[in-house]
Chain A
């Protein structure tokens, strides 16, 4: 029996040694996995963003103002600004979503409904966190499968494009991913000297207004439950040290942004 045990241990050790030796080779670079994943993400992003082309808001003041908000957040958090591509969409739904390849879609109604620039910055930070943590690709791979994603790019299938958008926009991320994005958003906000309680305030306001059917479900019913979410956001941000909070935009710029968007929403 001792002999068998000894031989068994030798076999296990041989397997582990072979595995450990093989880990020394950079297989990810050899098989160009990162390159291929990046290419897939880029092509998926391009495919999905096309769906928003018709409703894209081209108003220079609006796009510049949102750009400056995003730039400030990125700069404060050492995030490569080129990786975040914000786009404002004319839509009655209160929603914002992150797409593959760093595309950040903000619906016009969401900007109109936010009570302060801090709330808008908080939502942007939350979506940037999803982008930075690669949650969008994880979600798509989990729900659709890698093979379907690849075939949708090569096959130019418009039906699947709609399906992907539905997955990204209508359902919440996994409980842990959502919490990760919230907590990362708080860190981003604090580094950008923005009061993170704005995120909790926005979620709280949504919970009161939950009967409003234009509010997108991904924000209102996202896991973990809204109340818990507000609580941990407040608890996490209270424990953090921070510099004095500052406004990113002038009050007049903020007001003008909302006025411009109201005008655009009223057009036809």
Chain B
């Protein structure tokens, strides 16, 4: 799921710091933004936009951090509105709902742990690629070249 790979060049200290911050940004936003699922996406998007003109290493990690929030956004938004509909309309908690919330927490936890791990590794200048999001980030940045 998470792989350490060789990057095209060795990133400098300030690049590692900026790349690491892109992950930390999403972590802080998750904590601040709960239970609203959009906050972490906005935070990483702002950070991504702020580093558009930065080096490739920083841009690559900002893109991965941003893209990783997208799937979580869909999962969390669905869970959020389902909860709202239970509270304000149906009023009944079903097996399907509880199962969804557990799956949601599971995915969020995996994402949370992966983000912490990636932030630590990136700070050391190690390039960490996530399955799917890493591929997507490379495709996205190459298409912009």
A contact residues vs B (CB 8 Å cutoff): 1, 3-4, 7-8, 10-12, 15, 18-20, 22-23, 25-28, 31, 33, 134, 137-138, 141-142, 145-146
Contacting residues, chain A, for B90 (C-beta < 8 A): 138
Is B31 among interface residues, defined by CB-CB distance under 8 A? no
B107 contacts across to A, CB distance below 8 A: 15
Q: Is the CB of B91 within 8 A of A22?
A: no
Question: Across the interface, which residues of A come within 8 angstroms of B132, CB to CB?
Answer: 4, 7-8, 10-11
> In the complex, A3 Cα to B132 Cα: how many Å?
8
Contact partner of B100 among A19, A145, A146, CB < 8 A? A19
Interchain residue pairs with CB less than 8 A apart (21): A1-B139, A4-B135, A4-B136, A7-B135, A8-B136, A11-B71, A15-B75, A15-B103, A15-B107, A18-B106, A19-B103, A22-B98, A22-B102, A23-B95, A27-B99, A33-B93, A134-B91, A138-B91, A142-B87, A142-B89, A145-B87
Instruction: Report Cα–Cα, A137/B86, bound state, in Å.
Output: 12
Q: Chain B residues near A10 (CB, 8 Å)?
A: 132
Determine chain A's interface SS by DSSP, over half rule.
helix
B95 in contact with A26 (CB, 8 Å): yes
CA distance A142 to B86 in the complex (A): 9
Asked whether B139 lies within 8 Å of A4 as measured between CB atoms, the reply is yes
Bound Cα distance A4, B89 (Å): 38
A19 to B99, Cβ gap below 8 A? yes
CB neighbours of B95 from chain A (8 A): 23, 25-28
Q: Which residues of B contact A8 (CB under 8 A)?
A: 71, 132, 136
Query: B47: shortest Cβ distance to chain A, in Å?
Result: 22
A19 to B135, CA, bound (A): 25
Contacting pair B135 A28 (CB below 8 A): no
B99 contacts A28, C-beta separation under 8 Å: no
The residue on A at minimum CB distance from B86 is A141
- CB A148 to nearest CB in B, in angstroms, measures 12
Which among A15, A18, A142 is the interface contact of B88 at CB below 8 angstroms?
A142
Q: Are A18 and B89 in contact (CB under 8 A)?
A: no
- Verify B96–A23 contact, CB threshold 8 A: yes
Enumerate B82-116 residues with CB–CB distance to A below 8 Å: 87-96, 98-100, 102-103, 106-107
Please give 20 more A-B residue pairs, beta carbons under 8 A apart, in addition to A19-B99, A27-B98: A4-B135, A4-B136, A7-B132, A8-B132, A8-B136, A11-B71, A11-B132, A12-B71, A18-B106, A19-B103, A22-B98, A22-B99, A22-B103, A28-B93, A28-B95, A137-B91, A142-B87, A142-B89, A145-B87, A146-B87
How far does the alpha carbon of A171 sit from the alpha carbon of B11 in the complex, in Å? 66
List, in ascending order, chain B residues with CB within 8 A of A1's CB.
Answer: 139
Q: Does B131 contact A (CB under 8 A)?
A: yes
Bound-state CA distance A146–B87 (Å) is 8
Closest-by-CB residue of B relative to A14 is: B107
**A146 closest partner in B (C-beta):** B87
Contacts A4-B132, A4-B135; is A23 near B99 (CB within 8 Å)? Answer: yes
CB <8 Å contact, A141 and B103: no
Structural contact, B99 and A25, CB atoms closer than 8 A: yes
A1 CB, min distance to chain B CBs, angstroms:
6
Nearest CB of chain A from residue B73's CB, rounded to whole Å: 13
